[in-house]
Structure 1
Amino acid sequence: MLPGEDRAARRVLLVCMSAGATTLLDQAVLNIAVPSMRHSLGAGAADVQWIVAGYSLAFGLALVPGGSLGDLHGRKRLFIAGVAVFLLAGVAAATGGGPGTVIGARLVQGAAAGLVNSQVIGTIQDVFHGLDRGRALGLYAVTSGVATALGPPLGGALVAGLGPDAGWRYCLLLSAPFAVVTLILAARWLPPPRRTARDSRLDPLGLALACGCTLTLMVPFIRTPGSGGAALLWAAGVCALAGVFTVQQRARARRGRAPLVHPALRSSKPYMLGTAVAMAQFGSSLAASLVLTVFLQDGLGLSALLTAAIALPSAIAMGVSSALAWRVVRRIGPRTVDAGLILGICAALAGSVAALHLPAAGLPLAFAATQLLSGAGGGLAVSPNQTQVLQHAPAQAAGVGGGILQMAQRIAAAVCLSAVSAVYLHSATGSPRAAYALASCVCAGLLAVALVLSRLRRPATSSRTPTPASPPLRSSRDDHHHDDRSPQER
């Protein structure tokens, strides 16, 4: 049963879940169709890289500005506008006749997806409270995670059934009917727009600096610099922009104006550590999925359909374990995230061992088993971690808090996809099996870092003392005694 005190709240959650599934399925479904898309368009390697990674880049750039605008001016209109632009840009990308058209459409579509998802997090924070808020955020994370996991199987089925020339175009159109449904439901069921931020003045300089810093950080990982000197220049640019942004935010706060990043977010250890956990887990998951897809098709010569079938157990396991995760949280608390990360580490290491020692005939079944284990771990880690992180975002910064979390994940995706795929491709010329084993070990290392960070924040997240920014998620009785709304909402 969906959380919420009434039917209206549950309808809002359905709209949010639909939006998350629609925007994240669109990105995940395309990866497996990249070879056929490249051949059909006559695109170069750089063109394909921008088509795939440009979506994440624009997605990440739009999250914090979108969250801030939603906090200031209300979320419904921005949500509807974002879904509409996402739909139109998706149709333009699917019908594009050349690489340039597809790249431009994907950039616009990514920005629209970022605008939508920043409103989703803020809307859930606005509508749900106490235990219901935790369950609603968990279901949103579950839906998004399952959509991401289902992308490769669906993409493989479309390419296999429709052929390489038409298959990749239908992959891009797959999200269109879901976007139409989301648009209709949002217009009917989302609550009227209302402002949650205390200060109605936007921070345009802060927005510009945040976007510039994000862009400078992500672009080198999407398009690798040609020399070490160029890489150092990009790194210096990131440091400079980050420093200016920090100074500007503090100066704005001293003048009595609301900064872009709420002080409660910067000073919250659980929020910062939880965001870092999400980055490592998200980046590792996407990189592992991409490297497995490339290894199965290029290294082992398997078809797109068989590759999709091998990836399917991950989606199934993630859906089941995510649905059960809140029950596990009730029993062992924050250690649920640790358990999920440990399962993910075991899956990555098992895949590495299988690639090195099993005969080719046994690898598909072995990888299906490791995908099952990986999906189960993801389901236990993703939604409980996101819920714990967003408990520490105050009501007046709910949109920005969710936007920063998702932006951090997008940055991690760009970095990890580039770094791990480079590890695989650099080593694959000698032995694809050894290259995949090495890449899997890198992914396991990322999850190990996430595990350490998760354990470091445990004293704060497992505390039974409630705070205004962290409502106690104990039982349904608490919802009748605890009001975690902002002063303006009261």
Structure 2
Amino acid sequence: MATPSIPAISGRARWQAFGVCVAVAALTILDLSKVNVGLPSIEKSLGAGSTELQIIVAGYALAFGLALVPSGRLGDLYSRKVMFIIGLSGFTVASALCAVAPTIQTLVIARILQGVAAGVQMPQVLGLVQQLFQGEERGRAFGVFGATIGVSTAFGPTLGGLLIAVGGPTDGWRLLFWMNVPLGIIALLLAIRLLPKTQPHQPGARNLDLVGIVLLGIAVFTFMLPFVLTTGGPDDSPWRWLSLAGCAVAVVVFIAWERRYEAAGKSPAIHFALFSLGSYRNGLLLATAYFAAIPAVFLLTTLFLQEGLGFEPVFAGMVSIPFALTSAITALIGGRLVARYGRSLVVLGLVIAIVGFVLVLLGAVLPPAEDSIWFMAGAMAVAGAGGGLVISPNQTLTLADVPVTEGGVAGSMAQVGQRVGTAVGVAAASSIFFSTLYREGPGNSDNVMIYHDGFRNAFLVTLGLMTIALVIGLLDLLRRKRASTDDGEASDADSAPTAPSAAPAAGAEEAG
């Protein structure tokens, strides 16, 4: 079926709409990282336990992930602009509720609502980028998008530390949420004015697969739940892992339902044909592993520097500034180079990032405690230089072959992978970190050494996740080269059977 044409939009209008999308994406992603640095303050202010603190971080990601697919599908079928405005309005209101929360229970509920709203607006951002740009211009747009996401993720702890310093150690955490309110209102007014009113649709009925959406939601929820409830403390119940059995059942039922639904000539919640696209499938898996590692790295770093070495939140957060700066620069560069170098650019970025994170680990545990922060900051610059070459090029490659009409739901599934990765990575790393403290703490007077051990043990998990992302990138690179070689041989056989096969043209490996 032919893809409907994209309504003509002037270059200036496209980039203005894109600016609104990027700003809101930054606001959304900031709340994944800036709140980390406020956890000790929230603990003291509201008497939060480890479970509540874990839900504030991972519960946001859980709610985010659950809302992505249905909202992405609604945006594709009806109006991305309307869904964007609904999500941004809800995010702004939920942020205000978080800021005034009188108890930890209220904060947890408001935080989950904030995650749902974030999950409503984020797939519209990716769908609109798909709609607004084509070809190399789309690569540049994703370069800017990737730079923004990288800066938001890395600068979040610094911003959080500054706000806590301004607001005080007891109630400074409330400013983390208050800042979203005026910014959200401004973005809302701009979105109403600047986002395109029309979008392409596939011809035919615009049915919404409610059963499929519910089944997928159950699968995502039952998979993420045990990780959200994992704190590393002695109160963790082993029964929580039974939820994974429910996830397996939900996945089987979901696949069966979707195939039956599509066979009936209706549009399912997820078009499985998307996963037959190697670029999409492998890009999604790589992003899942990468985003399982990155938020965990920043959480571990702030916990180690604040609680282990006694640095103020603002200084603990500033360690991530070099990562933010270098990742922003290389993300912009990567957005321009991805059309030429493709997946090899992502692989290079992962190698550099892994080297940088190894240096972060060494900088944390080898130097004297008072000097660790400087070594870690320098190593973060190296890791950021690699990270910028991962996010935007991978985003471009992941969605390169996806039809515009499926941009929202395809972006939603990519975001689901990232949020699932975040929940799993944060849970795995933080549980090992805290379990090390619980195990070595009693009777041990060397507090710094305990935190060294906890940080080292947990950080090895993040390095393992980065290595998985690298392996996926290498396998996809080999797949593309093999496909390019096969295409070249077939072309030569058709045109000149007796001639030797020609070498693939530069950059042809990324066409597959």
TM more than 0.5: yes
**C-alpha contact 1:348 1:441 (8 A) present in aligned 2:** no
Matched residue of 1:164: which SS?
coil
Query: Which residue in 2 is equivalent to 1:399?
Result: 408
1:380 to 374, 389, 394: 389
| 1:272 positional shift | 1.3
- Aligned 1:357-372 pairs, distance under 5 A: 357-372=366-381
Partner AA of 2:139 in structure 1: G
Matched residue of 1:351: which SS?
helix
| 1:290 positional shift | 0.5
**C-alpha contact 1:26 1:174 (8 A) present in aligned 2:** no
Query: Which residue in 2 is equivalent to 1:217?
Result: 223
| Structure number, greater radius of gyration | 2
Separation (CA, whole Å) in 1 of partners of 2:479 and 2:189: 41
Separation (CA, whole Å) in 2 of partners of 1:390 and 1:230: 35
2:24 to 2, 5, 19: 19
Query: Which residue in 2 is equivalent to 1:98?
Result: 103
| 1:353 positional shift | 2.4
Separation (CA, whole Å) in 2 of partners of 1:410 and 1:453: 18
Which residues of structure 2 form unaligned runs of 5+?
1-8, 441-449, 488-505, 508-512
Query: Which residue in 2 is equivalent to 1:205?
Result: 211
Query: Which residue in 2 is equivalent to 1:134?
Result: 139
- Aligned 1:232-251 pairs, distance under 5 A: 233-251=242-260
Encode CA deviations 1:113-168: one digit per residue, 9 max, x unaligned. 11111111111111211111222223222212211211100111111232112310
Query: Which residue in 2 is equivalent to 1:63?
Result: 68
1:442 to 461, 471, 476: 461
Query: Which residue in 2 is equivalent to 1:299?
Result: 308
Change (3 A) 1:369 1:242: same
1:410 to 410, 419, 433: 419
Q: Normalising to structure 1: TM-score of the pair? A: 0.90
Change (3 A) 1:228 1:220: same
| 1:196 positional shift | 2.1
| 1:34 positional shift | 0.7
Separation (CA, whole Å) in 2 of partners of 1:385 and 1:331: 13
2:48 to 25, 43, 51: 43
Query: Which residue in 2 is equivalent to 1:52?
Result: 57
| 1:226 positional shift | 4.5
Encode CA deviations 1:254-297: one digit per residue, 9 max, x unaligned. 11111111132122222111111001111101111101111111
Encode CA deviations 1:394-438: one digit per residue, 9 max, x unaligned. 222111000000011000100110001111122235322122122
Separation (CA, whole Å) in 1 of partners of 2:354 and 2:311: 25
| 1:441 positional shift | 2.1
Change (3 A) 1:304 1:229: closer
Separation (CA, whole Å) in 2 of partners of 1:259 and 1:339: 37
Q: Normalising to structure 2: TM-score of the pair? A: 0.87
1:180 to 177, 181, 185: 185
Matched residue of 2:170: which SS?
helix
- Aligned 1:142-161 pairs, distance under 5 A: 142-161=147-166
Change (3 A) 1:9 1:204: same
1:120 to 110, 119, 125: 125
Encode CA deviations 1:204-243: one digit per residue, 9 max, x unaligned. 0000001111111111111139544441x21110100000
| 1:197 positional shift | 3.9
Answer yes or no: is 1:323 the counterpart of 2:329: no
Query: Which residue in 2 is equivalent to 1:6?
Result: 11
Query: Which residue in 2 is equivalent to 1:455?
Result: 474
| 1:331 positional shift | 5.2
Separation (CA, whole Å) in 1 of partners of 2:297 and 2:42: 21
- Aligned 1:233-272 pairs, distance under 5 A: 233-272=242-281
Q: What is the root-mean-square deviation of aligned Cα atoms in Å?
A: 2.1
Partner AA of 2:260 in structure 1: A
Separation (CA, whole Å) in 2 of partners of 1:262 and 1:390: 14
Matched residue of 2:201: which SS?
coil
Answer yes or no: is 1:335 the counterpart of 2:340: no
Which residues of structure 1 form unaligned runs of 5+?
466-472, 475-490
With 303-312 and 270-279 compared, the bigger mean Cα shift is at 303-312
With 133-142 and 333-342 compared, the bigger mean Cα shift is at 133-142
Instruction: Write out the 4+ residue segments of structure 1 that deviate beyond 4 Å after TM superposition.
Output: 459-465
With 408-417 and 153-162 compared, the bigger mean Cα shift is at 153-162
1:284 to 272, 293, 311: 293
2:37 to 23, 32, 35: 32
Partner AA of 2:142 in structure 1: L
Partner AA of 2:150 in structure 1: G
Instruction: State, as a whole percentage, how many aligned pairs show the same letter.
Output: 36
**C-alpha contact 2:342 2:397 (8 A) present in aligned 1:** no
Separation (CA, whole Å) in 2 of partners of 1:103 and 1:228: 23
| 1:315 positional shift | 1.1
The alignment of Structure 1 onto Structure 2 pairs a total of residues equal to 465
Partner AA of 1:167 in structure 2: G
Query: Which residue in 2 is equivalent to 1:389?
Result: 398
| 1:36 positional shift | 0.7
